[in-house]
């Protein structure tokens, strides 16, 4: 089993800007299956995904919210090159986030 050094943090964001951590995931499949499932079942709150490196005092590697997942796929290319994530996993995540964003927008 591979020890992962990158973690996904999911948060729900209230209209007032308050945030609540809803999960921490070490893989994109778990993030999609568990973390985004909680978001799908949520009350329409916005979500934020943050990619962080374990045991680091540095800023997060990236942060994206429901309002703007743009640039996520391009940002993840570096981690595809280093074998942290597969290209297929990244594309699936982007597709799932697009579907989630579309479902959260008013009709």
- Write the pLDDT tens digit of every residue in 4-43: 689 999 998 888 888 999 999 999 999 999 988 877 666 5
In this prediction, what percent of the chain has a pLDDT beyond 70?
A: 87
Higher-confidence position of 94 and 42? 94
3 state DSSP class of 88: helix
What separation in angstroms does the CA of 95 have from each of 16, 19, 21, 56, 73? 28, 24, 22, 29, 10
Long-range Cβ pairs for the range 18-27 (8 Å, 24+): 19/48, 22/47, 27/89
Distance CA 10, CA 95 (A): 17
Higher-confidence position of 63 and 4? 63
| 3 has a pLDDT exceeding 60 | no
Distance CA 52, CA 37 (A): 21
């Amino acid at each position: 089993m591979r020890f992962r050094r990158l973690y996904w943090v999911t948060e729900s964001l209230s209209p007032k800007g308050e945030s609540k951590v809803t999960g921490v995931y070490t893989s994109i499949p778990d993030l999609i299956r568990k973390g985004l499932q909680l978001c799908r079942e949520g009350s329409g709150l916005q979500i934020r995904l943050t990619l962080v490196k374990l045991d680091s005092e540095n800023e997060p590697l990236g942060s994206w919210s429901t309002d703007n997942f743009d640039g996520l796929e391009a940002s993840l290319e570096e981690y595809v090159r280093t074998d942290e994530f597969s290209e297929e996993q990244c594309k699936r995540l982007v597709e799932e986030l697009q579907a989630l964003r579309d479902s959260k927008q008013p009709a």
